[in-house]
Structure 1
Amino acid sequence: MRNAWSGHTFPHPSGRRRWMKDAASMDPDRPVQYILEHHRGLGPIFEIVVFGQKFVFVTDAELAAELNDESRFAKANSPALDGLRGIAGDGLFTAYNEEPNWQLAHDLLVPAFTKQAMQRYHPVMAETLDELFAVWDAGDGRIDVSSDMTRLTLETIGRTGFSTPFGSFTTSEVHPFVSAMVTALTLGRRKGVIAALPAARLLERRLDRKHADQLDYVRTFLDDIVAGRRRTGSEGSDDLLGIMLDQAHPETGERLSDENIRYQILTFLVAGHETTSGALSFASYYLVRHPDVLAKAQAETDAILGDDPDATPSYEQVARFRYLRKVLDESLRLWPTAPGYARTPRQTTLLGGRWTMTPDDWALVFLPLVQRDPKVWGEDAEAFDPERPRPRLAGTAKPFGTGERACIGRQFAVHEATMALARILHRYDIAGDPSYALRIDERLTLMPEGMEITLTRRTPSVRTVGAVPSDTPADG
Structure 2
Amino acid sequence: MLLTVAVVFLATLAVFWFFYSSEYRRKLALLKTEPYLPFFGHVLKLTKNGNSSVLPVLEEMWNNLGRDKYLVKLGPLDQVIITKTEDIELILSSNVLIEKNFVYKFLEPWFGNGLLILTGKKWRSHRKMLTPAFHFKILESYVEVFQEEAQVLADQLLDQGDGDIEMSHITSQRSLFALCRTAIGFDMNVNKDMSDFAASTQMIKKIMNQRVFSSWKFIDPLYQLTGEAKKLRECLNVTHSTFFTALRAKQESMKEMMELIASGKETLESITKEDDFFTKKRMTFIELLLLSKTPEGELLTDEDIKNEVKTFMSAGHETTAMAAAFIMYCLAMNPDVQKKAFQEQLEISGGDLTKPLTYKNVQDMKYMERVVKESLRLYPSVVAMGRKITEPTVLKDGTELPVGVSVLLVPYFTHRNPEVFKDPLKFDPDRFLEQVSLYSYYPFSAGSRNCIGQKLAMTMLKCWMGTVIRTVELFPPEGAHPEVIVEITINSATGVNARARRRQY
TM-score by length of 2: 0.80
Task: Name the CA distance, whole Å, in 1 between partners of 2:491 and 2:424.
Answer: 21
* Aligned pairs for 1:357-376 within 5 A: 357-376=401-420
Offset, 1:342: 1.9
SS in 2 for 1:54: strand
Q: Is the 8 A contact 1:287 1:294 kept in 2?
A: yes
Q: Which range moved further: 229-238 or 397-406?
A: 229-238
> What pairs up with 1:31-110 in 2 under 5 angstroms?
32-36=54-58, 38-41=60-63, 42-43=65-66, 44-71=68-95, 74-95=97-118, 97-98=119-120, 100=122, 102-110=123-131
Matches of 2:116 and 2:91, distance apart in 1: 19
The alpha-carbon deviation at position 381 of structure 1 amounts to: 1.2
Partner Cα separation in structure 2 for residue 198 and residue 108 of structure 1: 33
Q: State how far apart, in whole Å, the 1-side matches of 2:198 and 2:60 are.
A: 32
- 2:418/2:424 contact within 8 Å kept: yes
Instruction: Name the SS for the 2:120 alignment partner.
Output: coil
- Residue 229, structure 1, aligned to residue 250, structure 2: yes
Map 1:435-474 to 2 at 5 A. 435-440=479-484, 442-448=486-492, 450-460=495-505
Specify whether residues 197 and 149 from structure 1 end up closer, same or farther in structure 2 by C-alpha distance, changes over 3 A only. closer
Q: Judge conservation of contact 1:161–1:241 (CA < 8 Å) in 2.
A: yes
1:220 correspondence with 2:263? no
CA change 1:395–1:242 in 2 (3 A) is: same
CA RMSD of aligned residues (A): 3.0
The letter for the 1-side match of 2:70 is F
Aligned to 2:266: none
Is the Cα–Cα contact under 8 Å of residues 191 and 204 in structure 1 kept in the other structure?
no
Deviation at 1:3, TM superposition (A): 6.7
Give % identity. 20
Counterpart CA distance in 2 for 1:447 and 1:74 is 28
Query: In structure 2, how many angstroms separate the alpha carbons of the residues matched to 1:438 and 1:180?
Result: 26
Gaps in structure 2 of 5+ consecutive residues: 1-15, 258-280
Shift of 1:455: 2.9
Q: Shift of the alpha carbon at 1:290?
A: 1.4
Residue correspondence of structure 1 range 137-156 to structure 2 within 5 A: 140=161, 143-156=165-178
**Mind listing any 5+ residue stretches in structure 1 that lack a counterpart?**
461-476
Matched residue type, 1:308 = D
Whole-Å Cα distance in 2 between the matches of residues 294 and 33 of structure 1?
29
Shift of 1:99: 5.5
Q: Of 276, 285, 288, which residue of structure 2 is paired with 1:243?
A: 288
Give the secondary-structure state (helix, strand or coil) at the position aligned to 2:455.
Answer: helix
Aligned to 2:430: 387
| Contact 2:110–2:314 (8 Å) recurs in 1 | no
**How many residues matched?**
452
Contact 1:84 1:189 survives alignment (8 Å)? no
* In the alignment, structure 1 residue 276 sits paired with structure 2 residue 320: yes
Counting only pairs closer than 5 Å after superposition, residues 159-174 of structure 1 correspond to structure 2 as 159-167=181-189
Structure 1 189/122 Cα, relative in aligned 2: closer, same or farther at 3 Å?
Answer: same
Counterpart selection for 2:302 from 258, 262, 282:
258
Tell me how far 1:91 sits from its aligned partner. 1.0
Distance 1:342 1:3 in 2: 18
Shift in alpha-carbon separation, 1:404–1:130, aligned structure 2, 3 A: same
Cα displacement string for residues 127-165 of structure 1 (whole angstroms, at most 9, x for unaligned residues): 333444455566646653212222222222211222111
Answer yes or no: is the 8 Å Cα contact 1:311–1:423 preserved in 2.
no
Structure holding more helix per residue:
2
Letter paired with 1:112: A
- Report the 3-state secondary structure (helix = DSSP H, G, I; strand = E; otherwise coil) of the residue aligned with 2:420: helix
The 8 Å contact of residues 158 and 166 in structure 1, kept in 2 or not, is answered as yes
Distance in 1 separating the partners of 2:401 and 2:378: 29
Aligned to 1:18: 38
SS at match of 1:83: helix
Matched residue type, 1:285 = Y
Residues 139/22 of structure 1: CA separation in 2 closer, same or farther (3 Å cut): closer
TM-score by length of 1: 0.85
Distance 2:411 2:196 in 1: 31
Counterpart secondary structure, 2:439: coil
CA distance in 2, matches of 1:122, 1:361: 42
Structure 2 matches for 1:108-127, cutoff 5 A? 108-127=129-148
Separation in 2 of the partners of 1:157 and 1:141? 30
1:400 counterpart = 2:400: no
* Superposition deviation, residue 50 in structure 1: 2.3
Q: CA deviation at 1:332?
A: 0.6
Per-residue deviation, 1:358: 4.4
